[in-house]
Amino acid sequence: MSKLSFILPVFKPKLEILEKCVKSLCEQSLKDWDAIFVLDGPCDEARQIIARVMKKKANSYKIVEIEHGGAQRARNEGFRHSTGEYLCFFDSDCEIEVDSAQTWCNQLDKNQDIAFVYSGYRYMEEKGAIPSEPFNPFTLRVRNYVSSCFPVRRKFYPGWNETLKSLQDWDFWLSVVEKGGTGKFLKGYAFSTPYPEPGSISGEGCTWDKWLERIDAVKKIHSLPERDVCVSSLAMRHEGIALAKVIDADYQDFPTDKPHKYKTIIQLGFSFLPGNVEYHSRITGDKSAKHIIFYTCDDVTEIITRLNLEAVWKYSANLNGQVKQFVDDKAAYDLMKRAGFDVEILPIPMEVKPPTPLPDARRFAVDVNLNYNPVLNVLQRSLPDVELVPMSGAHDLNDFAGLVHLHPDRSISIGMKRAVLMGRPVVSNVQAPFMGYVNDTVGLDKFIPEIVNKIREVAYGRSCAGRDYYVKEASPERLKELCK
């Protein structure tokens, strides 16, 4: 039994490309592998190329010929001849990177709880790349982001559906997950593939006129819900997915890059900085759905500190009357109204979980704007018995006794609400209910002692009343009503 079996359907190949594919397999650093080439209909030239290149390697290989029946049938036939602990259904027009297979096997060996690994891939002739995204079964049930050319453990092999005209890879990985499998995302690009041509499976299946028909076929097989609402968040993807779950919506980074049936598209966060605004506006520019924008405190800060008035007026004029625009609190409302945006106050709905016990250590997460770094340095010297840890994506608020939040826009953030919902006290320059307000406009000689005293005051407290208040604020019902 080999470590990895490559299974490659071969149908009317471009012989030069097929030879490059086989050579790339032979040049990889992994030694323990075999290959099954399934000729989907007779092709003597392909047989000769495979034999000529493979005979130079010690690895075993097999050429199997079947009556033409399509890529899925060829893959299923190849599986019956395979021996590998891991299976890779590689395409015969792709070229694998030299260390990809070794990396795959190392990860699968090391992580026995995962069923498959995957990453991004490149298009040949420098025509771009598909970076993929971290594994999440929720988002996988909305749209596929895993190529068929990545390895899966043998015990999770579900078979290839031979009735589908396209999107077979999506159906395959959904079936693996439904068997209990999970995936692991690896950064980088594992192989190169030709850009989809009109006659290819990908080319035919991804055309606008056939997209909905093909995606509906997979949804029917897996009983996937047909949702009317989709959430997008290019800057806060994790929060966007959480919001989608709370209101029972789909989540997609770019919901408008393909035909869709959504009646409402919600964007969590909207950046107006050059390079960002084009992507955000591309979604809002779709006229087939109603659009809702939730501006975050980062967006508000960006507008008041980094944009000139001409740009602000231009953007507000384009969005006002076309898009429903919301902010979380009165402070953000006042700032956005002054900038010319027709906003309303609607707190962003959030998932409410039971509070976890406070840690024994006096550790506070710190989320501060760069303008407040001098204040943070003084706080660290003034509170030697309290650990102040800059917040990052690697940290979990459960590990902290509270949160210090200081930003120039003085509006509530998602992190502040999450902390209070978890029963953690918050110390902030945001004047909001149960947020441990400290006034940062009184001068450092007064502000520093006030914030030090406030941190000491709440260091061992649990914000129960605040949690009850924001549980009501986080209710998704009003947003659901707006989406109807």
CATH number of 317's domain: 3.40.50
Same domain, 199 and 167: yes
Tell whether the model's pLDDT for residue 293 goes beyond 70: yes
Structure confidence by residue, pLDDT tens digits, 201-249: 454 556 778 899 999 999 999 999 999 999 999 889 999 999 999 999 9
- Whether 12 is in a domain gets the answer yes
Q: What's the pLDDT at 337?
A: 95
Greatest mean pLDDT among 175-184, 296-305, 472-481 lies in 175-184
Same domain, 292 and 157: no
User: How many separate helices (H) and strands (E) can be counted in the chain?
Assistant: 18, 19
Q: What's the pLDDT at 204?
A: 56
- C-alpha to C-alpha distance for 142 and 160, rounded to whole angstroms: 20
Same domain, 214 and 122: yes
pLDDT band at 462 (very low <50, low <70, confident <90, very high): low
CATH number of 203's domain: 3.90.550.10
Exposure class string for 61-81: b at 16+ Cβ within 10 A, else e: bbbbbbeeebbbbbbbbbbee
Same domain, 396 and 334: no
3-state DSSP assignment of residue 454: helix
Of 348, 374, 401, the one marking the end of a domain is 348
- Whether 279 is in a domain gets the answer yes
From the CB of residue 314, how many other CB atoms can be counted at a distance below 10 Å?
14
- The torsion angles phi and psi of 4, rounded to 5 degrees, stand at -140, 130
- Whether 481 is in a domain gets the answer no
Q: How many independent structural domains does the chain possess?
A: 3
Q: State how far the alpha carbon of 288 is from the alpha carbons of 29, 255, 262, 322, in Å.
A: 50, 12, 8, 12
Structure confidence by residue, pLDDT tens digits, 320-374: 989 999 999 999 999 999 999 999 999 999 988 888 888 888 889 999 988 888 8
Domain that holds residue 406: 363-470
Same domain, 397 and 452: yes
- Whether 475 is in a domain gets the answer no
- Whether 478 is in a domain gets the answer no
- Whether 212 is in a domain gets the answer yes
Of 348, 379, 396, the one marking the end of a domain is 348
Same domain, 59 and 175: yes
Same domain, 394 and 317: no
pLDDT band at 463 (very low <50, low <70, confident <90, very high): low
- C-alpha to C-alpha distance for 234 and 276, rounded to whole angstroms: 9
Tell whether the model's pLDDT for residue 81 goes beyond 60: yes
Of 293, 323, 348, the one marking the end of a domain is 348
Same domain, 183 and 128: yes
Same domain, 210 and 235: no
- Could you tell me where the beta strands, DSSP code E, fall in 1-137? 4-10, 33-40, 61-66, 86-88, 95-96, 116-123, 129-130
Same domain, 61 and 29: yes
- Whether 480 is in a domain gets the answer no
- Give percent above pLDDT 90 in the chain: 69
Same domain, 216 and 233: no
Range in 34-38, 90-94, 280-284 the model is least confident about: 280-284
- Whether 462 is in a domain gets the answer yes
Overall pTM surpassing 0.85 (yes/no): yes
Same domain, 250 and 329: yes
